[in-house]
Amino acid sequence: MGDIAIRCENLSRWYGEVQGLAGLTVTIESGIVGLLGPNGSGKSTLMRLLTGQIKANRGTVEIYGQRITPGTYEIFRRIGHAPGEDVHFETDRAIDFLCLMAALGGDSPAKAKDRSEKALERVGMEKKADVKLNAMSKGMRQRIKIAQALLFEPDLLLLDEPLNGMDPVSRRNTMDLVRDWAGMGRTVVMASHVLHEVEAVTDRMLMLHHGRLLAEGRLTEIRDLIDMKPRRASVRGENLRGLAAEMLAQDVVTGLDFGNDGVLHLDTRDLPTLLDRLQTAGLAGQIHSMEIDDQELEMVYDLLVGGSAR
């Protein structure tokens, strides 16, 4: 049993008549926990409650044994949060944005720069320090948000859809970073609507559905109930027709097509193998970004709720 990082009791939040989270009671220990659910399930609402951005209508939240109440601020120094939406200043250079965040945390200019450079190095973006955020791809901006979350080396790291838009190499490096962070005795909560992304780093899951806790524990028990069904990776990059031919020749795709915007859609029954092959192409600079349409999570929800999770 690990140390308890988060404890929620009957946690509820409404937006007018819309239910964001309803009666959530859960305990999260140190290590990596996947927060799974389709859009609108309550993942981001929980993240905002944990970081004090919004207040609960009912129930309580404790972080490392300290209850979050109005005026409670010191505990937030132990939390790093990479939100799902972009929250930076578009015309800032990456280094300037991070230095600002470090300065707001109390650093001197010299300390803020040193801390920011180390954070950029952690996410593999040290060579992009002087690039403006509005000149970066979505995946690169995601890595800057993660660097921001790591600035003060938090004990609790909250990542909301961190892999969106990343190329295969950046995805793999980010997953390695998550594992390493938790390996130092810290806690990582990684929210995603893509089952494979979370399963690649942990088997510990919290599944939300319409603001309620649908299931928690380990996915292994229901994993065997899922049939091997096609999933899709959508790729943007260079020489995609050559990449398509290569994937067909390696017999790792069951079908493919090109979208109207030039995106290559690859269907597979073996997503891990396909991602390994795409990582090789990513190392060669052939892939700029990738999205996974993972229907497997919907299959899990169908098993649990007996109908569509959408």
**Domain containing residue 238: CATH number:** 3.30.70.260
The domain boundary, picked from 193, 223, 253, lies at 223
Does the residue 154 lie in any domain? yes
Is the pLDDT at 308 greater than 50? The verdict is: no
> 3-state secondary structure string, the chain?
CCCEEEEEEEEEEEECCEEEEEEEEEEEECEEEEEECCCCCCHHHHHHHHCCCCCCCEEEEEECCEECCCCCCHHHHHEEEECCCCCCCCCCEHHHHHHHHHHHCCCCHHHHHHHHHHHHHHCCCHHHCCCEHHHCCHHHHHHHHHHHHHCCCCCEEEEECCCCCCCHHHHHHHHHHHHHHHHCCCEEEEEECCHHHHHCCCCEEEEEECCEEEEEEECHHHHCCCCCCCEEEEEEECCHHHHHHHHHHCCCCCEEEECCCCCEEEEECCHHHHHHHHHHHHHCCCEEEEEEECCHHHHHHHHHHCCCCC
Q: How many domains does the chain have?
A: 2
Does the residue 213 lie in any domain? yes
Does the residue 162 lie in any domain? yes
Whether pTM exceeds 0.85: no
Residues 203 and 237 in one domain: no
Does the residue 302 lie in any domain? no
Is the pLDDT at 269 greater than 90? The verdict is: no
Residues 268 and 149 in one domain: no
Does the residue 103 lie in any domain? yes
Q: What is the pLDDT of residues 182-222, one digit of tens each?
A: 999 999 999 988 888 888 899 898 989 889 998 888 877 66
Does the residue 299 lie in any domain? no
**Which pLDDT belongs to residue 229?**
56
Tell me the residue range of the domain where 111 lies: 4-223
Residues 279 and 170 in one domain: no
What band does 289 get if pLDDT is binned at 50, 70 and 90?
confident
Write down the mean pLDDT value for the chain.
88
